[in-house]
Amino acid sequence: MVQEFHKPCIGIIGGGPAGCFCAYQLQNICDVTVFEMTSPLKTLLVTGGGRCNLAHAEYNFKELAKFYPRGEKFLYSIFSKFSTADTLEVFRSIGVETYTQEDNRIFPTTNSAADVRAKLLAAISAVTIKKEKALRVNPLDGKLEVVTVLGSYEFDSVIVATGGHAGYNIAKYLGHNIIEPRPALVGLKTDKIFHSGVVLKNVKTKIGKQVLQDDILFTHNGISGPLAFKISSLMAREKFPYTVTLDITGDVDLQKMFNENPHKTLKNLVGELVPKSFASEICPSGDIKCSQVSAKIREELMKNLRSLELKVLSTAGGGEVVTCGGVDLKEINPKTMESKLVPHLYFCGEVLDIDGFCGGFNLQNCWSTAFVATEGIKHDLHRSTS
């Protein structure tokens, strides 16, 4: 008698980067159905300002994990299995060549997120994509049932890859704890407002034990740019308002500069250190000559340049906007991405309480956790057939 062989059925909830990467890894050995309530990989289009910063050129997995304020330790074993080099290899295999920018961000050579999306979609063209919102997952005699707005479907395993916010109800329904979501990698509203559009280079600040150094952009209601995004990320769990202290110039000998330029106005001299419009704003008595600067004015200026205090009032939106928070990592096995509470249920991508800085780290989290989830499923299938 010839035994009929049924391919295992896998349901993936969410057709974002994480879900589609899972579909790519599983399509040859399983019947894969992706439930996507909008359009698959739509979220990829806006990444990297439309260029898709799909990874970061850090090839040591422990170093790579350091770029994640949430999830660093959890990611060790995940990145040890699938990291930057593996990502690039997979993308190359589907026709996406990449290059590394000076700041180590990796982009497709086409500089087009739309192109990456098209290539990944072409690579999973055999997969069934259902435009349906999944409502919940029910455990059912060793299988899992996905209930959507249009019907219900039975699977051997289900992967939840719903991104920030949208899929928390599905996880909660199955008993998972959700770490309270907060926005990260966003601009911040501050009490002091400076000339909008001014960029200061290599500004330093200290958050806890971490010294950060990057560019900052002043906006109409606060701060934005790489340094502000990092602050928003590291302080994502902090209550507003909180104070940040900026070291704008580093160590400068102001008195020596005054002595060497006695006839210059204070604001013109400071305008050699920082953009002129910003110099006018932070110089007390900016029109006086350097030779007339009192100790009190010098101290005040020094404070503004070396330890400018800003009270951060709230987030201001904009930026990359990832969710800090999500499915509690304590309830997920990092070796397989399987839920510790519900057998055959897997999680990957931003739905988890993992988030990284700007620079390709959040997509890397998707590719790596997706890969490990699919390996977990393969292992699970192997176990149940042997």
Ligand X SMILES: Cc1cc2nc3c(=O)[nH]c(=O)nc-3n(C[C@H](O)[C@H](O)[C@H](O)COP(=O)(O)OP(=O)(O)OC[C@H]3O[C@@H](n4cnc5c(N)ncnc54)[C@H](O)[C@@H]3O)c2cc1C
**Is residue 11 involved in binding ligand X (CB under 6 A)?**
no
Q: How far is the CB of 339 from ligand X (least distance, A)?
A: 16
Q: Are residues 20 and 121 in contact, defined by beta-carbon separation less than 8 angstroms? A: yes
In terms of CB distance, is 50 or 250 closer to ligand X? 50
**Segment contacting ligand X by CB under 6 A, of 16-24, 83-91, 226-234, 249-257:** 16-24
In terms of CB distance, is 38 or 177 closer to ligand X? 38
Binding mask 49-68 for ligand X (x = CB under 6 A): ---xx---------------
Q: Which residue among 22, 24, 27, 48 contacts ligand X (CB under 6 A)?
A: 48
Q: Are residues 308 and 246 in contact, defined by beta-carbon separation less than 8 angstroms? A: yes
**Is residue 161 involved in binding ligand X (CB under 6 A)?**
yes
**Is residue 114 involved in binding ligand X (CB under 6 A)?**
no
**Is residue 322 involved in binding ligand X (CB under 6 A)?**
yes
Pairing status of strand 345-347 against strand 157-160: parallel
Q: How far is the CB of 15 from ligand X (least distance, A)?
A: 5
**Is residue 36 involved in binding ligand X (CB under 6 A)?**
yes
Q: How far apart are CA 268 and CA 275, in angstroms?
A: 10
**Is residue 172 involved in binding ligand X (CB under 6 A)?**
no
In terms of CB distance, is 278 or 367 closer to ligand X? 367
Largest CA distance in the chain: 102
Which residues contact residue 15 at a Cβ distance below 8 angstroms, ignoring those fewer than 6 apart? 23, 34, 35, 36, 39, 40, 41, 129
Q: Mark 316-355 as b/e (b = at least 16 C-beta within 10 Å).
A: beebbbbbbbbbebebbebebbbbeebebbbbbbbbbbbb
**Is residue 166 involved in binding ligand X (CB under 6 A)?**
yes
In terms of CB distance, is 281 or 350 closer to ligand X? 350
Q: How far apart are CA 244 and CA 250, in angstroms?
A: 16
Q: How far is the CB of 16 from ligand X (least distance, A)?
A: 2
Q: How far apart are CA 210 and CA 215, in angstroms?
A: 16
**Is residue 42 involved in binding ligand X (CB under 6 A)?**
yes
**Is residue 366 involved in binding ligand X (CB under 6 A)?**
yes
**Is residue 190 involved in binding ligand X (CB under 6 A)?**
no
| Both structure tokens of 61 | 């997995």
Q: Mark 141-155 as b/e (b = at least 16 C-beta within 10 Å).
A: eeebbbbbeeeebeb
**Segment contacting ligand X by CB under 6 A, of 29-37, 66-74, 217-225, 308-316:** 29-37
Nearest C-alpha neighbor of 231 from the set 304, 303, 316: 316
Q: How far apart are CA 267 and CA 307, in angstroms?
A: 18
Q: Which residue among 360, 372, 374, 377 contacts ligand X (CB under 6 A)?
A: 360
Nearest C-alpha neighbor of 366 from the set 10, 9, 8, 24: 24
CA 216 from chain centre, in angstroms, equals: 18
In terms of CB distance, is 18 or 327 closer to ligand X? 18
**Segment contacting ligand X by CB under 6 A, of 15-23, 114-122, 260-268, 275-283:** 15-23
Q: How far is the CB of 362 from ligand X (least distance, A)?
A: 3
**Is residue 153 involved in binding ligand X (CB under 6 A)?**
no
| Both structure tokens of 84 | 């930057």
Burial of residue 207 (CB within 10 Å: 0-12, 13-18, 19+) is middle
**Is residue 126 involved in binding ligand X (CB under 6 A)?**
no
Task: Quickly tell me which residue has 């904009």 as its tokens.
Answer: 318
Q: Which of residues 222-261 bind ligand X (CB under 6 A)?
A: none
Q: Which residue among 281, 320, 331, 338 contacts ligand X (CB under 6 A)?
A: 320
Q: Which residue among 10, 12, 18, 327 contacts ligand X (CB under 6 A)?
A: 18
In terms of CB distance, is 84 or 205 closer to ligand X? 84
**Segment contacting ligand X by CB under 6 A, of 33-41, 60-68, 237-245, 248-256:** 33-41
Q: Give residues in contact with ligand X (CB under 6 A).
A: 13-19, 35-38, 42-43, 46-48, 52-53, 133-134, 161-163, 166-167, 320-322, 349-351, 360-363, 366
